[in-house]
Structure 1
Amino acid sequence: MFVHRRDVQIQWGDCDPANIVFYPRYFEMFDDSTSVLFEAAGFSKQDIVKKYGLVGIPIVDTRAKFYIASTHGDWITMESRVESFKRSSFEVAHKVYKEKALAIEAFETRVLVRRHPDDPDRLKSAPIPQEMIAKFMRG
């Protein structure tokens, strides 16, 4: 499986008054990590939208388990991978490490969507291209 790792330093604006990361900020980081994961695999979001006629790749489900808090100035390592593919959806797993200890596990379900051919005001799921699946499934 293709895995992408990146180091992120926790900024002042990420933290709440108790100086720990305000949890919605992590979900922004996970979203960024998914974008970076796709770019590292050779699929920028802009290219995917143009090449496959998509509107986007929205999240339809997400959850996280928090084990260790991070504070302003900490460095964390975010590890992201696509865990599985279905017809038009895929599962992304994120693991966040703080000094080699697992701090967070997070999961996203995303769907490729395009405009509905009969009604451009509606969206319709789109099948995941085989070349995309192949790229993420090899290590």
Structure 2
Amino acid sequence: MAEYPLKVRWGDTDAASIVFYPNFYKWMDEATHEYFSAIGFPTSNLYSEQQIATPLLEANCQFKSPLVFEDNVIVRSTVVEMRQKVFKISHKFYKGEILVAEGYEVRAWTSFKEKAKAYPIPDEVREKMIPGNAETVMS
């Protein structure tokens, strides 16, 4: 699991003074990049050195409690499912001990050396991504 702390900024809120929902998707994306840095594979290095990226295939988020300007939030990210070329990463948003939102992203391990093409996730990356609770699917 990786943790990504953030503070709600004025520009993150809508006319009702609560966080505008697309920001949760932006934060999930940022948390995924932080996750890869935390396990030793910063996405900027993956792309600059190997032309590897993890494009988004699917995203979902459920909102449980509103966030407002200057709230401090922790996003906890964990890989919960892994296939040969695709993985699902869960993101849980906490304000203190309160779960305010939870979502996930499905992403593909993709080479951009020529035409974009999904490739098997390398073993050295896979080993760092698979937590004890992940469902490993080799299809």
Q: TM-score range by the shorter chain?
A: 0.7 to 0.9
Q: Distance in 2 between matches of 1:127 and 1:98?
A: 36
Cα contact 2:56–2:105 (8 A) shared by 1: yes
Counterpart check, 1:81 vs 2:78: yes
Residue 94 of structure 1: which of 91, 94, 98 is its match? 91
Q: 1:21 Cα shift? A: 0.4
- The amino acid that maps onto 2:125 is M
**Structure 2 gap ranges (5+):** 133-139
Q: Distance in 2 between matches of 1:103 and 1:138?
A: 23
Partner of 1:124: 117
Q: 1:137 Cα shift? A: 2.1
- The amino acid that maps onto 1:69 is P
Counterpart check, 1:110 vs 2:107: yes
Q: What SS is found at the alignment partner of 1:87?
A: coil
Partner of 2:22: 24
Q: What SS is found at the alignment partner of 2:77?
A: strand
Q: Does 15-24 or 43-52 show the bigger shift?
A: 43-52
Q: Which runs of 4+ in 1 moved over 4 A?
A: 50-53
**Structure 1 gap ranges (5+):** none
Q: 1:73 Cα shift? A: 0.9
- CA RMSD of the aligned region, Å? 1.6
Equivalent residue pairs, number: 132
Q: 1:5 Cα shift? A: 1.3
- The amino acid that maps onto 2:41 is F
Q: 1:50 Cα shift? A: 4.6
